[in-house]
Structure 1
């Protein structure tokens, strides 16, 4: 089952696909263009993997890690489908990262890899932009690289784990202005999903709503203001995002703040 979270008519709703648009949890049918798409799950602790595909490490001239390279992301980094991501004026190289996002479904501590899928609620698509100008070194992505406001679109759908037969054999693709620039498969992860859950839960507790961003394959290219970037994962969804500059972002920021305030107040 696919479901989304959207803002419509002053409230937050869960929604599912309908023949003529979206069906809200109160039964109303609305067009996709009438809503503001929110992240399909409210992120709690979010773990992001660096260099989890050997081909991506190679294109960045880094050695593949011998243990998971993990860092944390704050909640303000996340935005929804069809939202805008800011490219700072001083950035010379800002690239997308199409990633499978794994959503934890229950309390998990010291999980063995053979039981790891029992702790997963489902999956969504993430696009974790990085500004290479801000990178200090490969083993310590600093805050400005991965924790900027609006730097991580996620969605549009949350897909329950039962609907994904093999999450370790899904095709990932990215399109910039309609041209495919990235293609890979989750089967090429260095550290697969079960091993990541085993690793993280070995020293800390995972809980419902935590998210693991599992890394991106090779094919990351620079994006410019005005670009439309589409990241898609087989069976999960197609996430659309637009790059904007400082001036445009300043104009639209009041609307994003209003939606964030509405979401924070917990109106469901």
Structure 2
């Protein structure tokens, strides 16, 4: 099943996306895609109810805005330098263990909402990433059991301000957490829809020019490894997001480095997880 949320910012309702592209309003069947939803049997229950009521559920027009396909989670855990070629273009060694950092959940926006270059920024960059949505509380999980803790997968643009991240001391979170720096969606594909998360093409274009074009088979640490590893250091709650890292082709790695500017258009996608488009705007009071 593909889970969406639709409507004006701050007033999104839960919906589903059918295989033919039809959007259905399921707000009469489920309150929200949040921790409570992913923790219990609500997903299985929703699947059966949608199958039984598919002809009578209200349709959502294609012009209606899509929000992020889940309510704000307890945390976004990101993995840095998880593609070998990206580590090389960043001038950093391949890590012996996953490099973890947080991204503020207040950065989350819809898949086609604007990216706002923050005040004082000169190095706002792009990063297409496969993100995992946790479906069952995970603490000290073995790799062999890790997939049982996944609800699904979603497209994420891990927008980054490189000067804030790398030149201003402290942790990377400063360069990762500005408002609008986490466009997520268009939908969550439940785990059954993605047969092999380790074999997905992911790509990103800026103003129509391909910048990133890779495959998750190039991940240094794969999906089960990441879920297990992160759960050794913190409890992952249902609805939490793990963003698994970006491949080569970020603006920082170009020669000369190239960063987003007002008026740019970013388009990205992952096999089975759809596409998103963000226009870039400069911060204004």
What is the TM-score of this pair, normalised by structure 2?
A: 0.81
User: Is the contact made by 2:84 and 2:219 (CA closer than 8 Å) also made in structure 1?
Assistant: yes
Taking the aligned partners of 2:21 and 2:147, their CA distance within structure 1 comes to: 34
Structure 2 counterparts to residues 188-207 of structure 1, below 5 A = 188-207=218-237
Match of 2:157 in 1: 127
User: Is the contact made by 2:205 and 2:266 (CA closer than 8 Å) also made in structure 1?
Assistant: yes
Match of 1:265 in 2: none
Is 1:158 the equivalent of 2:196? Answer: no
User: Is the contact made by 1:69 and 1:139 (CA closer than 8 Å) also made in structure 2?
Assistant: no
Is 1:88 the equivalent of 2:118? Answer: yes
Structure 2 regions of 5+ residues with no counterpart? 29-56, 252-258
Structure 2 counterparts to residues 91-110 of structure 1, below 5 A = 91-110=121-140
Match of 2:283 in 1: 246
Taking the aligned partners of 1:28 and 1:110, their CA distance within structure 2 comes to: 42
Q: Which moved more, 1:120-129 or 1:5-14?
A: 5-14
Match of 2:99 in 1: 69
Distance 1:201 1:20, change over 3 A: closer
Is 1:23 the equivalent of 2:60? Answer: no
Taking the aligned partners of 2:21 and 2:212, their CA distance within structure 1 comes to: 31
Q: CA deviation at 1:166?
A: 0.3
Taking the aligned partners of 1:207 and 1:244, their CA distance within structure 2 comes to: 33
Q: CA deviation at 1:32?
A: 2.4
Aligned to 2:132, what secondary structure does the other structure show? Answer: strand
Is 1:116 the equivalent of 2:146? Answer: yes
Structure 1 regions of 5+ residues with no counterpart? 251-268
* Equivalent in 240, 253, 260 of residue 223 of structure 1: 260
Q: CA deviation at 1:204?
A: 2.2
Is 1:14 the equivalent of 2:14? Answer: yes
What is the TM-score of this pair, normalised by structure 1?
A: 0.85
In the TM superposition, structure 1's runs of 4+ consecutive aligned residues that sit over 3 Å from their partners are 8-11, 18-21, 136-143
CA deviation map 1:177-223 (0-9, x unaligned): 22221101111111111111111112322121111000000011222
Q: CA deviation at 1:63?
A: 1.2
The structure richer in strand per residue is: 1
Taking the aligned partners of 2:82 and 2:170, their CA distance within structure 1 comes to: 14
- RMSD of aligned alpha carbons: 2.2
